Amino acid sequence: MNEQYRTHTCGELRTEHIGQQAALSGWAGTFRNHGGVIFVDLRDAFGTTQLVLHDEALLRGVTRETVIYVRGAVVARAEDTVNPKLATGLVELHVQSLVRLSAPCVPLPFEVGASENVREDVRLKYRFLDLRGERMQRNLQLRAALLQRLREHMQRFGFLEVSTPILTASSPEGARDYIVPSRKHKGAFYALPQSPQLFKQLLMVSGVDRYYQIAPCFRDEDARNDRCPGEFYQLDYELAFASQEDVLRVTEELLHDVFTTFGGGKAVTPLPFPRIPYREAMALYGSDKPDLRNPLRIGDLTEFFADAAFKPFQGKPVRGINAPGCAQQPKSFFEQMLQFATSIGMKGLGYISVVPCAEEDTGSGNTAPYPHDDAYSLKGPIVKFLDSAKQAALCAQFNLQPGDTVFFISDRPSAVDKLAGQIRSELGNRLELTDQSRFELCFITDFPMYEWDETARRVGFNHNPFSMPQGGMDALLTQDPLEILAYQFDAVVNGVELSSGAVRNHDPEIMIKAFEIAGYPQEELERRFGAMFDAFHYGAPPHAGMAPGVDRMLMLLLEEDSIRDVVAFPMNGNAQDLLMGAPGEVTESQLREVHIKVRS
């Protein structure tokens, strides 16, 4: 430690230092003047120490958040002034000399360490002040610790860290590229990589057996709470001579270690993590990123209502969700659920509850006997459309108990599962069924290789165009494209997609056919992905990989609502860096150098 500025940090002094001389440097915090005795909280990255000054002249030119150097004696605090909230709370420094190390701090736009209620644009403009607070310091420290742990884990399992280019060629990977004009090559452009996808596959062809890097990725896409515009980081890795299960084993060991180490004591899904096929996930949870902390499950009632008298459900898929204990909720709960249902595009939200019998319900048409207990009845607007056999079958299918409510969702085939998933999530939150005390992890597997593109009116890739179809060339030649599954998989934590991965398509002939089905002729494939397509003719091993998002990982571990709070210098939701003023204008000479003219 440089004793020119400090002998100890502001979080270091303890009772064993009493009677010693100490020098500290840091930011001046709260000032308290108690009749000629002045108390100042001095703060640095390691903690806070209380200063005691008897000479007000020492503070001339010192304002809050001014950086100062002090020297003095370490003294025990009086018993009634001990602060158990501070690690240094049993001692204080009686200041004998003080030197100002910075210019006096100007009036603050907000209180350091109390920025939670400050507008985000103000926080980001003065991000250097926001980062001084204890919460943001903690977030930065956890980020550093996590990155170190990730590197240690990957190196322990034999992965080689390789850095791939930042300036590369434009590649259609699902989002818009950030493009960079070339000075030396008029009219040509580089692109910032959306991911190291092509390079890591080329590394497999290059003979690297296990590659990884903590990779910056750049996508010109709109912000969300769980996605920064512009730049984000992922732990990118690829394995040669590997199957899907090889990648899943590496990933689950990695994620189990991370969430156990940094998860604050929350329970973590034991190994191995569940593997849930995509279609099963959509059927049971209405989502390909299900939150398994929510115990509610979705049931299929399409056949059940096919011959029922309720016409709005006939000829359309129908889903049901049993919400235990929901029947005890007030009428306003059901009204609010209906409002939510209409807000996501549903025309209504039917339900049937198991409630205690009431005389006023007799003959209303909205009640029927509960098959298992005469003291209860089935109640709801759909009851009268079901005969007694249907009522009994519904109770059996969902194991309806007194106090339960089953909700019904019906819509077009392309929408019904997602709508049911949203109703499931809303019920889980409103009924406080979603367990906040644990991390539930799973893998979603067997994604469809293709999907129908309504806009283009043709078949397109569903997930990752570089994935190997299950069944290889035979599947591409003989199966309906919409029935072909791919070796594609996602890692999901508490309803958040943390990572996507795949077994790669390393066979040029299979790749040609796969892209042809999605509307890309061979010429287009070679033009867009020429380097990789060419390399695959020189001996490419089977390979597979994954890339968990570092920022999302931190957001989950820190329980932050916005991903911008786990990044040191993020852009705002409008893709602007308010601190540095980016994007900004450049000079006419700079534009001429890269052969660009801005159109008005």
Q: Specify the pLDDT at position 361.
A: 57
Q: Specify the pLDDT at position 364.
A: 58
Contact call for residues 529 and 171 (beta carbons, < 8 A): yes
> CA 168: distance to chain centroid?
27
C-alpha 273/C-alpha 257 separation (Å) is 13
Q: Specify the pLDDT at position 428.
A: 97
Q: Which fold has domain 295-425?
A: Gyrase A; domain 2 (3.30.1360)
Reported residue count of the chain is 600
Contact call for residues 353 and 275 (beta carbons, < 8 A): no
Token pair listed for 340: 């939510």
Q: Which are the contacts of 161, defined by CB distance < 8 A and separation ≥ 6?
A: 151, 154, 155, 211, 212, 213
CA distances from 591 to 479, 579, 594, 597 (A): 52, 24, 5, 7
Strand positions, DSSP E, 344-416:
350-356, 367-369, 376-379, 405-410
Exposed, middle or buried: residue 396 (CB in 10 Å: 0-12, 13-18, 19+)?
A: exposed
> Model-level pTM?
0.92
C-alpha 451/C-alpha 172 separation (Å) is 17
Which long-range contacts does 309-314 make (Cβ < 8 Å, 24+ apart)?
309/385, 309/386, 309/387, 310/382, 310/385, 310/386, 312/410, 313/408, 313/410
Q: Specify the pLDDT at position 224.
A: 74
Q: Specify the pLDDT at position 363.
A: 54
C-alpha 304/C-alpha 301 separation (Å) is 5
pLDDT tens track, the chain, 600 positions: 667 899 999 999 999 999 999 999 999 999 999 888 999 999 999 999 999 999 999 999 999 999 999 999 999 999 999 999 999 999 999 999 999 999 999 999 999 988 888 999 999 999 999 999 999 999 999 999 999 999 999 999 999 999 999 999 987 656 789 999 999 999 999 999 999 999 999 999 999 999 999 999 999 988 777 778 889 999 999 999 999 999 999 999 999 999 999 999 999 999 999 999 999 999 999 999 999 999 999 999 999 999 888 888 988 999 999 999 999 999 999 999 999 999 999 999 999 999 998 755 555 568 888 988 889 999 998 999 999 999 999 999 999 999 999 999 999 999 999 999 999 999 999 999 999 999 999 999 999 999 988 888 899 998 888 999 999 999 999 999 999 999 999 999 999 999 999 999 999 999 999 999 999 999 999 988 899 999 999 999 999 999 999 999 999 999 998 999 999 999 998 999 999 999 999 999 999 999 999 887
> CA 254: distance to chain centroid?
17
Q: Specify the pLDDT at position 228.
A: 81
- Residue 153 has φ and ψ, to the nearest 5°, of -65, -45
> What are the residue ranges spanned by the domains of the chain?
15-100, 295-425
Cis before 583 (ω within 30): yes
What single-letter DSSP state applies at residue 56?
G
Domain 15-100 identical in fold to domain 295-425: no
**Minimal CA–CA distance to 1: which of 59, 44, 64, 60?**
44
**Minimal CA–CA distance to 575: which of 231, 233, 230?**
230
CATH assignment of 15-100, among 2.40.50.140, 3.20.20.70, 3.10.20.30, 3.30.70.20: 2.40.50.140
Which stretches within 366-469 are classed as H helix? 388-398, 413-430
C-alpha 192/C-alpha 273 separation (Å) is 34
CA distances from 326 to 197, 294, 402, 419, 571 (A): 47, 15, 10, 19, 42
